[in-house]
């Protein structure tokens, strides 16, 4: 049986890890390399780093940071934010990232998925899909969940997989930040219909939510930020508890 993965997410602005709500009132949390090393030592399975400035001017800084991260940790990590070409992906992979994540750029140019997958392999590309439930339909959102895209969650996720996505990172915009649990019923449908692993994001508030997203939601991995950064849910405590609940995790 494939082990379920626990993935802390770190938002990076100008080379520093930050935390806020909808990118407002951002507070510096610490050095991304040191935080990554800490999570690796605590037993996290992977990490996700998102460049939330994603500006052209900041690209060199972020690539330098990715190189530092690669030298400082011994677990896989994914980087995302502002990747709009295969060359962008190549630069980050060459700097030491294990995978790249694309979101808005893939919605606006779906061929980007094909190009990255064909050049580097599907195992290197994660397609992040942010979606908001409206009147029973899941509307895909872009630009950090701020604007609606003319796509639906299930059909866009299927297309992304057909174009070469190796994983789908699904964030329920309505659940994100609520700490009320993941969108498990939707995740279950998504996981059952897609041929690739699904990473759940949005709604983590306690350890039971993680157990539920793996059992009921059938997610392959669960991603969270604030509950880990705040120390409310230490990764080793979570994994030992999940193991006691019969969830197959790496201890």
Radius of gyration of the chain from its Cα atoms, rounded to whole angstroms? 17
Alpha carbon of 72 to those of 10, 37, 58, 66: distances in Å?
15, 6, 21, 10
For residues 37 and 161, give the distance between their C-alpha atoms in angstroms, rounded to a whole number: 31
Contact 82, 55 (CB under 8 A): yes
* Residues labelled catalytic: 11, 130
For residues 249 and 251, give the distance between their C-alpha atoms in angstroms, rounded to a whole number: 6
For residues 177 and 224, give the distance between their C-alpha atoms in angstroms, rounded to a whole number: 10
**List of residues 6+ apart from 207 with CB closer than 8 A:** 233, 237, 238, 241, 242
């Amino acid at each position: 049986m494939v082990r379920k993965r626990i993935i802390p997410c770190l938002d990076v602005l100008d080379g520093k890890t930050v935390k806020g709500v909808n990118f407002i009132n951002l507070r510096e949390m610490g050095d991304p390399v040191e935080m990554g090393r800490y999570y690796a030592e605590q037993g996290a399975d992977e990490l996700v780093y998102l460049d939330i400035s994603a500006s052209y001017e900041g690209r060199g800084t972020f690539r330098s940071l990715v190189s530092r991260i690669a030298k400082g940790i011994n677990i896989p990590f994914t980087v995302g934010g502002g990747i709009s070409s295969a060359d962008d992906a190549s630069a980050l992979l060459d700097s030491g990232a294990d995978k790249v994540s694309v979101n808005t750029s893939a919605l606006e140019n779906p061929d980007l998925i094909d190009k990255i997958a064909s050049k580097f392999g599907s195992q290197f590309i994660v397609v992040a899909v942010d979606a908001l439930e409206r009147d029973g339909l899941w509307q895909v959102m872009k630009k950090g969940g701020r604007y609606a895209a003319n796509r639906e969650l299930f059909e866009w996720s299927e297309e992304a997989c057909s174009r070469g996505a190796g994983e789908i990172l699904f964030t329920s915009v309505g659940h994100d930040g609520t700490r009320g649990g993941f969108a498990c019923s939707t995740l279950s449908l998504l996981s059952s219909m897609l041929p690739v692993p699904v990473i759940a994001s949005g709604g983590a508030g306690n350890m039971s939510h993680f157990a539920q997203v793996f059992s009921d939601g059938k997610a392959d991995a669960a991603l969270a930020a604030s509950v880990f950064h705040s120390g409310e849910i230490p990764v080793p405590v979570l994994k030992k508890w999940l193991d006691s609940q019969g969830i197959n995790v790496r201890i």
